[in-house]
Amino acid sequence: MKPVLEANKIRKVYGTRSNFYTAINDISLQVERGEFVSVMGPSGAGKTTLLNVLSSIDKPSSGEVKISGTNLFKMKSRELAVFRRDRLGFIFQDYNLLETMSLKDNIILPLSLSRTSSQETEARFQHIAKQFGIYDIRDKYPNEVSGGQKQRTSACRALITNPDLIFADEPTGALDSKAATHLLANLERVRTEEGATILMVTHDAFAASYSDRILFIKDGEIYQELAKGDSTRKSFFQKILAVLAELGGETDARD
C-alpha cells in the first residue's frame, strides 16, 4: 500500500539569489495511512513552512509532494482547490470558523460546496458531531461557545469529508489543558477507530505525546525521528522532552 503522503527533497527558499533564506532544505518524508505524525522544533525551524508546502497552501522552490499518489503541484489551480476541499482536512489554531454561521453550518460547509446529498450530509454530521460532543450545541454560533468547543467544531469540519489526510497547525495552542486533552483524545480515537491520517505541527510535548511518530525539525532539516512504539504515552512524553531539550526549543511540561 502506498503512503498517503510522500514528500521528496522539498526545498523552500525566500528572497533573491544575492539575499536568500532557506526555510526548508531537502526534506523527504512519508506518512502512512492511519498514522498520527507530529512535527516539532524550535521557533523558526521551518515547521509551519513545511506544513504549508505539504498541504499545498504554499509551493516549494523544488521537490515534489504527492498525496494518495497525486502530485499536488502538477495540477492546475482549479483542480488543486477542489482536491484540497474534497481530499484534505485542516485544523488551525485560530479555528477559522465563520461567525455568521451556526456550528452545524460551519461543519457541513465542505459538503455543501461539494453538493453532497442532504441525507448523506445529515448522516455524516450526526456521526462526527456526536463523536466530538458538538451535537447538542449545533445551533449555537461561534461567539456563544468556548475555545475548546470551537476547536472541536473545526476538527469536525476537517473530518466530515472523510479526507485522505488531516493537517493540524498548533490545534491546541489557544486551549487550556482540559480542552486540549478533550480534543486530542477525540483525534486519537478517530485515528484508531476510523483510520484517519493526521499530520500535526506543534510546539507542545503534551499534544505530541498523542501521536505515533514525531519528526523534529532544526534549521529547515529533519534533526531526529522518534517513534512511540510500545511506550506508554507518559514515557513517550518524557522522551519528547529530552529531544526538545537537546534542540533548545520550547518545552511544555504539562501532563
CATH of the domain spanning 3-250, picked from 3.40.50.700, 2.40.10.120, 3.30.930.10, 3.40.50.300: 3.40.50.300
Q: What is the mean pLDDT of residues 182-198?
A: 93
CA distances from 113 to 84, 109, 153, 174, 233 (A): 12, 6, 18, 28, 39
Burial 13-28 (b: 16+ CB within 10 A, else e): beeeeeeeebbbeebe
Measured CA to CA, the distance from residue 83 to residue 88 in angstroms comes to 7
CB 227 within 8 A of CB 218: no
Report which DSSP code applies to 5.
E
The overall average pLDDT reported for the chain is 92
The reported pLDDT for the residue numbered 93 is 87
pLDDT tens digits, 27-83: 999 999 999 999 999 888 899 999 999 999 999 999 999 999 999 999 999 999 999
